[in-house]
Chain A
Amino acid sequence: MKRFLLFGSLSVLAVSVVLAQTSGRGVLRTDSGDHPFTYVEQAGHTYVSATEVVAALGGEMALDAGGYRITLQGVTAGFGSDSRYGVVRDDLIEMPVAPMLIDGNPFVPWQFFQGFLSKAFALDVTWEASGKLMTLRPQQREAVDVQVSVGNVQGISKIVLTLSAPAEYSVARGQAVYAVRFETPIRAPFSDQAYEDPHVARIRFSGNELRIHLTAPDIVSDVYRLDDPPRIVLDFRKGTPGVPLPGGETPATPLRPREVPGIQTIVIDPGHGGKEVGAVGPNGLMEKDINLAVARKLANVLSRRLGTRVVLTRDDDSVVSLDQRTALANQYSADLFLSVHMNAAVVRGAQGSETYFLSLEASDELARKAAETENASAASGSSADLNLILWDLAQQAYLDESSRFAQTIQESMNAATGVANRGVKQAPFKVLVGATMPAALVEVGFITNPEEESKLQSDGFQNLMVEALASAIERYKTEYETRIGVIQPAAAPAAASANNTETSGATASPQGATEPE
């Protein structure tokens, strides 16, 4: 009995300590004034009444299948009572602990509102424990350091702006001048500097803006963004302007027509590279190596046969991020993008080739999000999300052509090689998402099948595959240019006219670009 009494009292004490709560009234301070709400403190965490805070912000909250749904100025967010992840649009909000129900009322860690309001409305949310005060204010942005490098490679003047942190910006073009305007404060490395460069005469910083003064008014620029570290790259040259990338010159417009009709530039993307080896065959053959070998051969054949510029996204065993591969294609204003891969499956004996283009289902969902984000961005003044969404939507405008391109590739692979036909398919492949041109991903064969692994590393089979891919690209080019009127139907060259299997000759440049002879 004594033992029981002791055990019982200790258990009650333990439970009491764990569940000990303190609640009271806090204040939510916004532009419109102070609003009281109920808070609860438990186990070192502060929870706030979601119902009361949402009401104070002018939003609505309703019970949903997975928890609670919040609608605030057209933006939807939510949380569940069992999860320390909430959602705003399709983005996650991480909380230190899961929300809880108290007397049937949902209480969330105050950090839920910090994540929600910063992601959706660019607001800073702070909690002062001593004063029980939750404050909302526009985000204070720290100054971003900008480093500048200018170089000229093969006639292209490349300005690289390396940033200490990601920053929103816009690019405006004037008479012989480009202005890069940051939406955050910046720290400039100099105020004014002159350059001995064929295209760039001078760079001046003023406030949050830098101006690039050009040597002539007809110089155009491709502007794109690279990550890790965050960089803005401006390529200046005489010629056709490229299509801007997310975060670049105003919102990127995927439908922007290229000035020279027809297929002038083709980007071939050897999948994986470096430490990202891709699939590995039973005898140790690495996908990244075969992808590169096939892509190099294909680039050589295409540049000789078609008279187009052919660019490789990598020409060595290096890591290139998926976004950078597509960004490169956009930078070159490519008219066609083909990613080359070898397949893998758990099914023994899996064999054959298949060709993918981007899944439409993903795009439909994104289109809805774009409209939603556009509204939210207009309200918050933030364009970062909108640019991201536009990047995600870039391929949507080209899905019909991508489907035709994938079909042409697959037909040619079947006809030329006799490998099993696994058909044309759609999938949400990341490398295809941001491409502003017809784009496909071909899986040449199954490296996990010992028989196909052996074939894939033979020169003869690789050449056969390269010929099939080159013929498909040539046929697609002819058909596309006929459709858009660049080639008159009667004058269209026979797609199958060139059966040259030559794979040697032109050598890719250090940048991976192979110019026609």
Chain B
Amino acid sequence: MKRVAVGSLLLLLIAGACKRETETAVNANAANKVSTRTARLYFEAPEMLLVSESRALALPESPAAALPLIVAELMKGPAGGPLLRLWPEDTVVRGAYLVPGGTAIVDLGGATLSAGWQVGSHHELMAIYSLVQTVTVNLREARQVRILVNGSAAETLGGHVSAVRSLRPMPGLVHPSSR
């Protein structure tokens, strides 16, 4: 067994020696400290406006790392009570990224969105802006949200709301108590 171990180490040394050029170490992003924070997730209320539900989440301090977790939590739907789920249950969060200029890119997938969501204007509008509102309220670094479907830009998700540009919050869709 010792031989195997020594052999492995030798291989490692040889591999290192074969590099002719400078070797640098990856400075992968510093480990994110995770703490429990309260996120505000927006869903539709019976008054047909967006209302926030507060939920305690273990979130990394890095906004970029927290973003996909917050979006995934939104997609789980409301915990209960009068608030209503807006996104299809099969929606998958493929990725969510924060890029300069205050843009959060949210890449969604799942059977319903992939097939073309058959939905009405109000429902589509509220779903999209529940995402925009949730992201921008919880991450001050994000001012607007660009939605992708399966990694690509989509004209719309359900035939109404333009998704070809980044979207900013629409306070008029949010109940005054949750703004």
Contacts and interface: CB of A to CB of B under 8 A. Distances in A.
A358 B92 CA distance: 30
A427 B151 CA distance: 24
Contacts of B160: 341, 427, 429-431
Interface string B118-158: 11111101100000000000000110001010010101100
B15 A16 contact: yes
Contact of B8 (A6, A80, A350, A354): A6
A428 B122 contact: no
Interface in B1-48: 1-2, 4-5, 8-9, 11-12, 15-16, 19-29, 44, 46, 48
A97 interface: no
Contacts of B151: 94
Given A6-B8, A66-B103, A102 B24 contact: yes
A322 B159 contact: yes
Given A65-B102, A341-B120, A350-B48, 19 more contacts: A10-B8, A12-B12, A22-B23, A23-B24, A64-B100, A66-B101, A66-B102, A66-B142, A81-B64, A83-B97, A100-B27, A101-B28, A287-B120, A344-B120, A345-B44, A345-B126, A354-B122, A361-B168, A430-B160
A362 interface: yes
A23 B21 contact: yes
Contacts of A425: 172
A82 B172 CA distance: 33
A85 B105 contact: yes
A515 B126 CA distance: 39
A428 B64 contact: no
Nearest to A77: B100
B164 interface: yes
Contacts of B48: 345, 347, 350
B29 A79 contact: no
Interface in A398-430: 425-430
B58 interface: no
B23 A21 contact: yes
Contacts of B164: 430
Contact of A347 (B25, B62, B84, B161): B84
A492 interface: no
Interface in A66-91: 66-69, 76, 78-87, 90
A173 B9 CA distance: 77
A378 interface: no
Contact of B24 (A10, A40, A67, A275): A40
A78 B165 CA distance: 16
B113 interface: no
Nearest to A82: B64
Interface stretch (A139-147, A177-185, A276-284): A276-284
A87 B101 contact: yes
Nearest to A345: B122
B123 A346 contact: yes
A343 interface: yes
Contacts of B101: 64, 66, 69, 76, 78, 87
Contacts of A9: 5, 8-9, 12
B75 to A, nearest CB: 14
B167 A22 contact: no
Secondary structure call for the A interface? mixed
A344 B24 contact: no
B34 to A, nearest CB: 15
B98 interface: yes
A80 B153 contact: no
Interface string A1-34: 0110110011011001101111110000000000
Contact of B118 (A86, A277, A343): A277
Closest 6 CB pairs of A and B: A344-B120, A78-B100, A83-B97, A279-B120, A64-B100, A430-B162
Nearest to A39: B21
Given A23-B21, A66-B100, A322-B156, A343 B120 contact: yes
B86 interface: yes
B65 interface: yes
B22 A24 contact: yes
**Most chain B CB within a 10 A radius of its CB, from A20, A81, A280:** A81
A64 B65 CA distance: 16
Contacts of B120: 278-279, 287, 341-345, 443, 446-448
Interface of B: 1-2, 4-5, 8-9, 11-12, 15-16, 19-29, 44, 46, 48, 62-65, 84-86, 95, 97-103, 105, 116, 118-123, 125-126, 141-142, 146, 148, 151, 153, 155-156, 159-162, 164-168, 170, 172
Nearest to A66: B98
A347 B44 contact: yes
22 contacts: A9-B12, A12-B9, A12-B12, A66-B100, A79-B100, A80-B99, A82-B64, A83-B99, A102-B25, A276-B118, A278-B120, A278-B159, A321-B155, A341-B160, A356-B121, A427-B161, A428-B165, A430-B156, A433-B162, A441-B121, A443-B122, A447-B120
Given A64-B100, A344-B119, A428 B161 contact: yes
A333 to B, nearest CB: 24
A427 B101 CA distance: 23
A359 interface: yes
B103 A87 contact: yes
Contact of A21 (B11, B26, B46, B99): B26
A296 interface: no
Interface string A435-471: 0000001010011100000000000000000000000
Contacts of A40: 24
Contact of B98 (A2, A22, A67, A103): A67
Contacts of B25: 19, 102-103
Nearest to B127: A346
Nearest to B30: A101
Contacts of A64: 100-101
A427 B23 contact: no
Contacts of A58: none
Contacts of A65: 63, 98, 100, 102, 141
